[in-house]
Amino acid sequence: MKPVYFDSAATTQLRPEIIEKMTQVMQQCYGNASSTHSFGRSAKAMIEQARKTVAKYLNVSASEIVFTSGGTEADNLALLSAVRDLGVKKIITSRIEHHAVLYTVQQLEKEYGISVDYVDLDNAGHVDYNHLETLLQSSQKTLVSLMHVNNEVGNILDIAKVSKLCKANNAMFHSDTVQSVGHYKLDLQELAIDFMAVSGHKFHGPKGVGFAFIRKNSGLKPLIFGGEQERGYRAGTEAVHNIVGLEEALKLSYENLEEERAYITDLKKYFIEKLVLNFSGVSFNGSCADFDKSTYTVLNVCLPIAPEKGPILLFQLDLKGIACSKGSACQSGSAQGSHVLSQILSDEDMQKPSIRFSFSKYNTKEEIDYVIEVLKEFI
């Protein structure tokens, strides 16, 4: 039995080039980047080069990139400081955001008494832009927090439209772009985004590293104190090997973007065709079967299975060596169903098992054929 990995929205496989690069850094560049001797200066130079590389791909200044432990920390940094330090009194978000945003917003509501508005969604889980514009008609200092690509169903936000609406209404805009950076090109000179969160392990980089984009002169203050690293935004000795790994991963992702996107798109189309052909009554959650409205890396499938068989489906797939998920990996172990699907599916469809398959350049059509055979046997 060959393991089949269809859970790249949870985390991706490291590219061999990145393992090689990180190993080299750990062996040869082990100085503390805050030290003034040659070992420290060498480490510092690598971090600053990585910052420039990241900034180049987003078309921003290097000083606007702050390395973090990942997307969750970057989300917390932007949201907490916006309320604590920038005087934000109102946050507009949606009920299908990642919990790194939802739980943080709920905590800010409790601690600081801010008002929170949830923008309406259509039946597929897309933001109602007219309702968003209505919510933005406020005299309170407002921050909008909406993710670019939904991590469970793959819906794509019209990030340019939202940024224009925010700018027109003097609101700040934060976006969790964990599922999109490395997969889509974003020009932050063209987009009026104030804060962004990114995680390296979503585009074949290492875990434990990401970055926040913080628009210059925003006034944001640190979340973690204790040192002057990251221009005072984020204290703590930098993990040089992780930062260099993220740099290399982002570089390779964008250098190979068109070729890999075409390959993965073809895989997703093939999977949809096979599912429709073999399973009467199969449906696709959100807009994940619409290639104009969803990302090419995610397919969330509602399967025509008897309710009593649903709870053991993931277990059966795992026994056959197939890795996928019922939602965000951050929710695994939770007794509750997907908070995303609960907003867009009927009560009847919520009783059926929904599985998220997510793809990368390392997947093949042969693996899809194997998954189809396993599902046929089980169903």
Backbone angles phi, psi at 224, to 5 degrees: -115, 130
Helix (H, G, I), strand (E, B) or coil at 227: coil
| Residue 266 sits in the same domain as residue 194 | no
Tell me which of 255, 290, 325 is where a domain ends: 255
Tell me the per-residue pLDDT of 173-219, one tens digit each, with 9 for 90 and over: 999 999 999 999 999 999 999 999 999 999 999 999 999 999 999 99
Q: Are the beta carbons of 282 and 301 closer than 8 angstroms?
A: yes
Query: What residues are labeled active site?
Result: 330
| Residue 264 sits in the same domain as residue 248 | no
Enumerate the H helices of 136-209 as residue ranges: 159-168
Retrieve residue 318's tokens.
Answer: 């795992």
How many C-beta atoms lie closer than 10 Å to residue 104's C-beta?
23
Cα distance between residue 329 and residue 332, in whole Å? 5
Question: What average pLDDT does the segment 24-34 reach?
Answer: 96
Quick one: CA dihedral 354, 358, 363, 365, positive or negative?
Answer: positive
Cα distance between residue 301 and residue 285, in whole Å? 6
| Residue 79 sits in the same domain as residue 185 | yes
Angstrom CA distances, 163 to 64, 136, 171, stand at: 18, 12, 9
| Residue 231 sits in the same domain as residue 279 | no
| Residue 273 sits in the same domain as residue 186 | no
| Residue 304 sits in the same domain as residue 222 | no
How many C-beta atoms lie closer than 10 Å to residue 24's C-beta?
12
| Residue 148 sits in the same domain as residue 180 | yes
Tell me the per-residue pLDDT of 298-351, one tens digit each, with 9 for 90 and over: 999 999 888 788 889 999 999 999 999 986 555 444 456 899 999 999 988 888
| Residue 223 sits in the same domain as residue 301 | no
Number of domains into which the chain is organized: 2
Q: Are the beta carbons of 95 and 101 closer than 8 angstroms?
A: no
Q: What was the pLDDT predicted at 305?
A: 87
pTM: 0.95
Q: What was the pLDDT predicted at 269?
A: 98
How many C-beta atoms lie closer than 10 Å to residue 228's C-beta?
11
Percent of the chain at pLDDT > 90 equals 91
Give the CATH number for residue 156: 3.40.640.10
Tell me the residue range of the domain where 365 lies.
4-12+256-378
Mean pLDDT over each residue of the chain, to the nearest integer: 95
Q: What was the pLDDT predicted at 1?
A: 67
Tell me which of 255, 276, 301 is where a domain ends: 255
**Residue matched to tokens 């805009």:** 173
Cα distance between residue 191 and residue 162, in whole Å? 9
| Residue 48 sits in the same domain as residue 135 | yes
Give the CATH number for residue 325: 3.90.1150.10
Tell me the per-residue pLDDT of 227-279, one tens digit each, with 9 for 90 and over: 999 999 999 999 999 999 999 999 999 999 999 999 999 999 999 999 999 99
Beta-strand relationship, 210-214 and 354-358: unpaired
Q: Which of 321, 319, 315 is nearest to 355 (CA)?
A: 315
Cα distance between residue 321 and residue 344, in whole Å? 30
Q: What was the pLDDT predicted at 331?
A: 47
Retrieve residue 126's tokens.
Answer: 């897309």
Q: What was the pLDDT predicted at 333?
A: 47
Question: What average pLDDT does the segment 73-78 reach?
Answer: 98
Q: What was the pLDDT predicted at 372?
A: 97
| Residue 251 sits in the same domain as residue 233 | yes
| Residue 250 sits in the same domain as residue 262 | no
Question: What average pLDDT does the segment 107-136 reach?
Answer: 98
Q: What was the pLDDT predicted at 111?
A: 97
Cα distance between residue 329 and residue 249, in whole Å? 21
First to last CA, the chain: 20
| Residue 185 sits in the same domain as residue 328 | no
Tell me which of 230, 255, 280 is where a domain ends: 255
Angstrom CA distances, 177 to 5, 182, 307, stand at: 23, 10, 34
